[in-house]
Amino acid sequence: MSASVVETFEYIIRHQATPALVEFLLHLPKTEVVAVRQQTKRLRRELEDFRQQPDGNWGRAGTDEQRFMLQLAGLHTYSRKEALSPNFQLWGIESAQMPHFWAVVEHARPDWLGDFFRQWSDRNAWSRPAYQLLRELERRQLLAYEPRLFAGSVPALLQEWATEISQQNPIPNDALAVVTARLAADPKLLTRDLPLVFDFDTAVDSFQARVQQPMPSNWRRLAQPLTWQSWQEQHPPQELRWLDVFRSLATQSHLVRPELLNRCLLALRRDFRRPLLTWFRTLFLALHPTPEERLTRQTELVDLLAHPLPLVVNFALEQLKDLWQHPEFAAAPLLLYAEGLLTRQDVRAGLRTLLGGLEKLLRRDPALAPALATLATTALANADAAVQERAARLLHTILGARKPLLSATEAADLTANLCLYTELLTPPARLVLAPYLPASEGLVAEAEHYAPRSGFGPDISAATALEPVRDWHELLFLTGQVLRQNEPMEVERWLDGLLHLRGQFPADYTRQLHPYLVQALPWQLKGKSEEETRTFLLSYAFEASNNGRRELLLALLISWYLGFPRLLVAQVPLRPQQYSRPDPLLHLEQQRLAAAEAALQQGRTLPLLSTPSHAPHWVAASVLMRRLLDYEEAGQEPNAADLTLALARTAVAAPADVAEARRLLPLFRHPELRRLLQSFLGPEPTAWQMPSFTRPPLEKRLTERLSQLIPFLRRPAAELAPALTEALPWLWAVAARTRQLHAELPALQALGTYPGLAQPWQPTWALTKKSHTYAQTWNKAQPTVTHTWQELEVQVVIPQRPLPSGLLLYSLHASSDSRHRYALWPLSTELPFLLSLLPNQPDTLLWHVVHTAGRTADKDATGQLALQAALTTLLNPGPVFTEPATLLLALGLTHGDAPCRALALEVLLAAIAQQRVVADALGLTLGRLLAAEFVPVARLAEALGQTRAISGPTDDAVRQLLEALLPQLPAVPLRNTRKLIEAYADLLARHRRIAPEVVQQQLHTWSSSATLKKASATLTAA
């Protein structure tokens, strides 16, 4: 019997229509329900599977009617477990199918129906059960009434009705009136279910609809083809929003206006989403409550001041601000909430409104002065300058009243309390409260004057020495760190551990490495055994995609896992892509890693010359000499790329260690290298004794030129490092530029005229106004739109000839390819490593960062990452900031992203403490940025406000910065210039200084401005 029922069911699903299935389900014996249930689940897996069809398109195996029939079968036979699983849904039922649905559900009457619809409603706010469906289920007593479920389905009614109205012919001229009438005609919906949207977190704020005649289905094939723009003009749409619906219902008295206002205020007290709270606030304002209506609800409005969201608090204060002086306004509840509100830092606008209202309360009732003085004193701890200024004005009103508002004891206590806030006050608040604050003590001490230091020496000592990898277990741990993180020092230690632990790997080291290979290549290796992994990796090749240092390290890891049967690092293509330009320094890193891979293949264990010996990425000169002596003793020639990077990383500014290295020089026998090292490690960098260099032979130059023109003569993607003898001229150039980046070196003139050889590479920067115009033909009122912006350009002379050697570290970024706009993408991830290659002279790389990441000061995720990486390196101890470092700091302090500005402020404070920043140069740079309106003044004013009263040197450095900045600003004052003047006035007042003549002239120019007159007059008078 069971088999025949199941077969009949399957035959109906596959070959018959819905009425046959309904008849079958209505007469299905209870003993056969389980068998049909299992067959239903099997057929659903088959017919609802998304697969490729015979015509090549993708789709489901079953038809829409078959899927509906399976839904009906599930509705009749499923238990609670199957019905509440995510795979069972009832949405998408068409109106013609509803009689079949009601026939089955009336017969089955499943007990899980309420739970099913509640789960459906909670799963997705945009796909909730239809309101009319729930009403009909309730009418048929198939579903118990639940307010939360019905409330969630009400907002979608707007779209359903808009679709129905759009199908009418003709379409009503006032769709809003039609919707209002339909709501008014349904008392249960109007009085029971519609008000529920104020009690539950629904999507009423998001649902909006459009009433418009639909376009013809053949609109593309008409004699005069239509466009949506022309259709919009012929049939203007009517927009429907719940906001307008509620306002219309209140206007026509279908909803009671006082009750609607009360419900809005009660909804604002609930823990709803921010957009939904915004919608309730907008609805309240759209009803235009009168002052009398707001005064009647003052208790509800005051209660909103305890809400955690600033949105609600600011709204409540706005509604109360014109009620302070009304005789019926009760001040006691407001003062109770104000005590907790004034300590919040996230409601600055509301606090300014509140303090202004407290001053009105004081005029209405002077007896409140003691309580208001306490509140105003509490507000002085707020970080916002405007809040402090409002609180200071209130205190000045209380203390400076002609008729005393406080007793003598209360006034003395208040004045004493003000002294506790002296160092926290911003300049505007300090000026207001100056008569009640103690006078500053004397002149600033001589030790508190700020001046940048003259020299820098890295710490080359045992405290900063890097420990080598101890054993296999630490090396294995570092392997995971290298794959997960982008820490240059961890990679260097891992690479060094690979070399000096060669020969000490356990016999099963490939088994222990296997999980790390799966982690690095999850898509290719997940689920593969070790043998399958090895077979796959033996033929693995890197695609010519956006490869970088990660792919180079992965190639070395694969080569290590396989036992170095072939060299893989040199096979990783580092070619320019459509949206990516790899940094040229990566080619040197590839040559260095290829040298390490070759050494591991041949069993050599000597360390790389460029492996840092001291934190953060220095190579001690004495360590470099000992490594070179070890290479010479082993009869191994240094790799040119490795030696180039070692010279760039050598701590030549550590005199004690360099003196130790010079004592080792006589032991070194290589004549050319010894001569180079004698000059490189000499006490005077200007005394270079360079050999005379000649240009390469004509034949070689022609071959190199042809390799640029003929495709099959082009060099491979990964060049091998040249032999040491051939690389000596370029090593001399790198060594000389590491000691003197900006000097002229005539001895290198014969090598070429490329920037960074004989002549230094010294870019400049300028701000250029740019614009872009595009057409919008659909907008006749504004057919064209022009966007104008300021762009920072690094101006250099791009050489026409290719670089003679890839070893010239300080010339690589002068090429046109490295200045491509898509060079920023790989730079954002590789920058921490790239900066570790040039610790002595990072200027060329910093100019590259400015050119790519600093073009604009707006929020840009990729440029922001690069800028933050560059700023992070400036936190480390180092020499005085050069021009590109100063420019990067200025860009960070005024960047559009708040975390980037916070990091730049941290860099500024650390640089002042380390005496690295040149305050005058930073002020001039910031002045240029502000004067060109490249960035708004408010960003800088906010940052400088946080440096106040940290220390004497910090105050003095900021003073020097402002004295260099203010004369650069235009005569027509920029917005928020007053904040800079007030900060400067505060510095001068606290340290008893006088503004220099050039600043006073600028202040005199600004004294005619109404916004700057008061602040400028104070300084010029002093």
Q: How far is CA 333 from the centre of its chain?
A: 42
Predicted confidence band of residue 444 (pLDDT cuts 50, 70, 90): very low
Predicted confidence band of residue 220 (pLDDT cuts 50, 70, 90): low
Which range, of 609-613, 704-708, 748-752, 875-879, averages the lowest pLDDT?
A: 704-708
Q: Contact, 351 vs 380, CB < 8 A?
A: no
The pLDDT tens digits for 319-371 are 998 888 888 899 889 999 988 888 888 888 888 899 988 998 998 889 999 99
Question: In a 3-state reduction of DSSP, which class is residue 996?
Answer: coil
Tell me the DSSP string of 39-89: HHHHHHHHHT-EEE-TTS-EEESS-HHHHHHHHHHHHHH--HHHHTSTT--
Residues 6+ apart with CB under 8 A from 302: 316, 320, 333, 334, 337
pLDDT at 994: 86
Predicted confidence band of residue 1010 (pLDDT cuts 50, 70, 90): confident
Backbone angles phi, psi at 211, to 5 degrees: -100, 120
pLDDT at 651: 94
DSSP summary character for residue 189:
I
What residue ranges in 174-267 does DSSP mark as E strands? 208-211, 238-241
Q: Contact, 928 vs 894, CB < 8 A?
A: no
Mean pLDDT over residues 735-751, rounded? 87
pLDDT at 439: 62
Backbone angles phi, psi at 613, to 5 degrees: -105, -20
In 874-976, which ranges are continuous DSSP H helix? 883-893, 898-913, 919-931, 937-945, 952-965
Q: How far is CA 577 from the centre of its chain?
A: 25
**Identity of the amino acid at 232:** Q
Mean pLDDT over residues 841-863, rounded? 85
Predicted confidence band of residue 382 (pLDDT cuts 50, 70, 90): confident
* CA 702/CA 692 separation, integer angstroms: 23
Q: Contact, 146 vs 113, CB < 8 A?
A: no
How many helices (H) and strands (E) would you count in the chain? 49, 6
The Cβ-side half-sphere exposure at 26, using a 13 Å CA radius, reads 14
**Identity of the amino acid at 911:** A
Predicted confidence band of residue 383 (pLDDT cuts 50, 70, 90): confident
The pLDDT tens digits for 664-708 are 999 999 999 999 999 999 887 766 777 777 655 544 444 544 454
Predicted confidence band of residue 562 (pLDDT cuts 50, 70, 90): very high
**Identity of the amino acid at 551:** E
Predicted confidence band of residue 849 (pLDDT cuts 50, 70, 90): very high
Residues 6+ apart with CB under 8 A from 972: none
pLDDT at 736: 92
* CA 680/CA 643 separation, integer angstroms: 13
Q: For residue 267, is pLDDT > 90?
A: yes
The structure tokens 């240059």 sit at: 488
* CA 515/CA 525 separation, integer angstroms: 10
Predicted confidence band of residue 778 (pLDDT cuts 50, 70, 90): low
The pLDDT tens digits for 412-431 are 998 888 888 877 787 788 87
Check the CA dihedral 659-664-666-670 and report its sign. negative
Q: How far is CA 329 from the centre of its chain?
A: 46
Q: Residue 772: beta bridge partners?
A: 787
Angle between helix 98-108 and helix 18-26 axes, rounded to 10 deg = 10
Q: Which of 816, 822, 813 minimizes the C-alpha distance to 799?
A: 816
Predicted confidence band of residue 125 (pLDDT cuts 50, 70, 90): low
Q: Which of 625, 620, 556, 615 minimizes the C-alpha distance to 589?
A: 556
Q: Contact, 292 vs 253, CB < 8 A?
A: no
Q: For residue 441, is pLDDT > 60?
A: no
Q: For residue 217, is pLDDT > 80?
A: no
Predicted confidence band of residue 1021 (pLDDT cuts 50, 70, 90): low
* CA 346/CA 383 separation, integer angstroms: 10
Mean pLDDT over residues 475-494, rounded? 90
**781-784: which pairs have CB atoms within 8 A and are 24 or more residues apart?**
none
Predicted confidence band of residue 519 (pLDDT cuts 50, 70, 90): very high
The pLDDT tens digits for 278-296 are 999 999 999 999 999 999 9
Q: For residue 442, is pLDDT > 50?
A: no
In 384-445, which ranges are continuous DSSP H helix? 385-399, 408-420, 427-433
Q: How buried is residue 107: exposed, middle or buried, by Cβ count under 10 Å (0-12/13-18/19+)?
A: middle
Which range, of 249-258, 461-470, 990-999, averages the lowest pLDDT?
A: 990-999
Residue 848, Cβ neighbours under 10 Å: how many? 29
Exposure pattern of 794-831 as b/e (b: 16+ CB <10 Å)? bebeebeeebbbbbbbbbbbbbeebbeeebbbbbbbbb
Mean pLDDT over residues 792-797, rounded? 87
The structure tokens 């109106």 sit at: 95
Q: For residue 718, is pLDDT > 70?
A: no
Q: For residue 3, is pLDDT > 70?
A: no
pLDDT at 673: 92
DSSP summary character for residue 215:
P
Q: How far is CA 481 from the centre of its chain?
A: 24
Can you read off the two tokens belonging to residue 286? 């759209």
- Higher pLDDT, residue 923 or 128: 923
pLDDT, averaged across the chain: 87
pLDDT at 717: 42
pLDDT at 713: 40
* CA 317/CA 321 separation, integer angstroms: 6
Residues 6+ apart with CB under 8 A from 917: 452, 880, 881, 886, 889, 908, 911, 957
Q: Which of 562, 628, 549 minimizes the C-alpha distance to 592?
A: 549
